[in-house]
Structure 1
Amino acid sequence: MHQVKKVHLDTNSIRLAAKNIDNGAVTAGYRANREDVIEMLNKALATELVCMLRYLRHYYTVTGLHNSPVKAEFLQHALDEQDHAYELAERIVQLNGKPDFNPATILMRSHAEYNESTNIHEMVKSNLISERIAIETYRQMIENLADTDPTTKSMLVGIMTTEEEHADDMRDLFF
């Protein structure tokens, strides 16, 4: 049988450390470089915003009687990307950072590109490529965090799961 290791928690030091309320959710035990994590999350935020805008553009510009299922998929993905942006912005604030929504620099900070194609095949292809970029971005972010920030890591795993579903959806539409 597997034996559980007994853990001793120092209640007095935990309570003392918790009294430093200036840092909100960031306690003395936080092991990641907060500034680096905030910068990484702001780049992911920019990527999600670009992806949301690209999907919205494709949703509003795709035409054709037989394209309503594709149009619906574009809208759902845009809403999912918006939710991801909200999650990232909230985590940035929890880490005492400021989410960067500056429209003048979003494209420069984004890992994905914006696409103004009017051809449905090119729309789906650009979305598939962008989803693959997002998956790899989140994979590297998760790897870089290791176990230094379990809350951010957990959030990124959840977002990456949705991005993998999006990539699968776009691949199905593409082929």
Structure 2
Amino acid sequence: MPNQFELDVTKIRENARRQMEDGPVTPAYGGDPNPVIGILNDVLATEIVCYLRYSQNAITAAGIDRAQVAAEFQEHAAEELKHGLSAAERINQLGGVPDFDPATLARRAHTEYSAPESTDLNAMLRENLVAERIVIASYQEIVRWIGDADPTTRRLMEHILEEEEDHADDLVDLLGI
């Protein structure tokens, strides 16, 4: 082993006592949490918009496969809401304020929200697949940008990314493509 691991526990203890108001953000954090908070607020907006789209689609879907597709939309909606709340919790941990302002959600989201022009399942599936692909590409960039500076946020984003990839896979299966 080239380098021996050394930890100055005394210094860590002193810093922990001296900077308690910083909560979980320690000197080892690796940077300024404010840009991360901003990005997480955009993730929060994206996830809420996806939750709303999937929920609307689950309710209005029509056609022979409606029950199966609506159930999948409901499952995805619940997961999107969970993702948004996880991002909000992380924002709070970093000392920020989660932005749930309905007036700005759609503008801040990476995906778009538009009510479907029809109840056609195929059109809904395709629009949701496009949205998932946008989220996947965006979140991959966020994970790369975070790097090692904030392992907790990176792991959160990786977990959300994994579930978004599962959503895209589910939609591809339902579309038969």
* TM-score bucket (shorter structure): over 0.9
Q: 2:6 aligns with which of 5, 8, 14?
A: 8
Superimposed CA distance per residue, residues 118-159 of structure 1 (whole angstroms, 9 cap, x where no aligned partner): 221111011000101111111000000110000000110000
Q: Which residue of 2 aligns with 1:138?
A: 139
How far off is 1:51 after superposition? Answer: 0.2
- Distance (Å, rounded) in 2 between the aligned partners of 1:172 and 1:77: 14
- Distance (Å, rounded) in 2 between the aligned partners of 1:91 and 1:64: 40
Q: Which residue of 2 aligns with 1:39?
A: 38
Q: Number of paired residues?
A: 173
Would you identify which runs of 4 or more consecutive aligned residues in structure 1 move more than 6 Å? none
The alignment-based identity, stated in percent, is 42
Q: Which residue of 1 aligns with 2:92?
A: 93
Q: Which residue of 2 aligns with 1:173?
A: 174
Mapped contact 2:140–2:161 kept (Cα < 8 A): yes
- Distance (Å, rounded) in 2 between the aligned partners of 1:32 and 1:130: 31
TM-score normalised by structure 1 residue count: 0.95
- Distance (Å, rounded) in 2 between the aligned partners of 1:87 and 1:59: 23
- Distance (Å, rounded) in 1 between the aligned partners of 2:90 and 2:36: 10
Could you say what secondary structure the match of 2:65 adopts?
helix
- Distance (Å, rounded) in 2 between the aligned partners of 1:132 and 1:32: 29
Q: Which residue of 1 aligns with 2:15?
A: 17
Q: Which residue of 1 aligns with 2:56?
A: 57
- Distance (Å, rounded) in 2 between the aligned partners of 1:66 and 1:45: 31
How far off is 1:33 after superposition? Answer: 2.3
- Distance (Å, rounded) in 2 between the aligned partners of 1:115 and 1:168: 22
Could you say what secondary structure the match of 2:29 adopts?
coil
Could you say what secondary structure the match of 1:47 adopts?
helix
Mapped contact 2:51–2:80 kept (Cα < 8 A): yes
Q: Which residue of 1 aligns with 2:157?
A: 156
Mapped contact 1:111–1:134 kept (Cα < 8 A): yes
Mapped contact 1:51–1:112 kept (Cα < 8 A): yes
Superimposed CA distance per residue, residues 2-24 of structure 1 (whole angstroms, 9 cap, x where no aligned partner): x3742111111100110111011
How far off is 1:65 after superposition? Answer: 4.2
Gap regions ≥5 residues in structure 2: none
Letter in 2 for 1:15: R
- Distance (Å, rounded) in 2 between the aligned partners of 1:107 and 1:58: 17
